[in-house]
Amino acid sequence: MNDAVSISTFHADDIETHLGELGELLSACVHDGASISFVLPFTRSESELFWSAKVLPAVRAGKLTLLVARHEGRIAGSVQLDHDTPPNQPHRAEVRKLLVHPNVRRRGIARLLMAELEQLTRRMGRHLITLDTRTGDKAEPLYASLGYATAGVIPGYCLDPIEDRLDSTTLMYKAL
């Protein structure tokens, strides 16, 4: 499977070109129940707007790097590295929105994206990665298996995307 997956850095013009597929990726993950900022109802145009209004300007400004995984020519996953850190944290970067399309999960795509993201972080001269993920989600064992340590849990942090309840978030970090 991994041989069929390629990872590349998407620039602003790549985001514009692939807005439909990126919108489909995010929308599919939210409708599958992922806790990644959004709640239902969540339309395709809202999904595309996230990429065009939030991600694209940050990528263009050099504040965010977007990695995209392709499988059989289609966008299968993505992850963002936010390196827009304050002056006292030049050594740190934050993982945002690790997404793998529900149709191609459990085939190592997230692992590949995170390996590439860590190499990228090192190349930037940064050596501390931080993230947060909903407590109990399948991403938690993934990050733990990649060497991320748990700093703590914040209860009642965010709304579930589908059900009327608040979920906790787990703060994690890895020193490279």
3-state SS, the chain, equals: CHHHEEEEEECHHHHHHCHHHHHHHHHHHHHCCCCCCCCCCCCHHHHHHHHHHHHHHHHHCCCEEEEEEEECCEEEEEEEEECCCCCCCCCEEEEEEEEECHHHCCCCHHHHHHHHHHHHHHHCCCCEEEEEEECCCCHHHHHHHCCCEEEEEEEEEEECCCCCCEEEEEEEEEEC
Give 106 or 123: the residue with its C-beta nearer to ligand COA: 106
What CA–CA distance (Å, rounded) separates 35 from 170? 12
* Residue 109 in the binding site for ligand COA (CB under 6 A): yes
Asked if 74 is part of the footprint of ligand COA (rule: CB under 6 A), the reply reads no
Q: Does 141 bind ligand COA (CB under 6 A)?
A: yes
Does residue 55 touch ligand COA according to CB under 6 A? no
Interface with ligand COA (CB under 6 A), residue from 64, 98, 117, 120: 98
Q: Which is nearer to ligand COA, 16 or 153 (by Cβ)?
A: 153
Residue in 111, 159, 160, 171 binding ligand COA, rule: CB under 6 A: 111
Say how many residues touch ligand COA, by CB under 6 A.
20
Does 30 bind ligand COA (CB under 6 A)? Our answer is no
Binding to ligand COA (CB under 6 A): which residues in 119-138? Answer: 133, 137-138
Give the binding site for ligand COA (CB under 6 A): 29, 34, 36, 98-100, 105-111, 133, 137-139, 141-142, 145
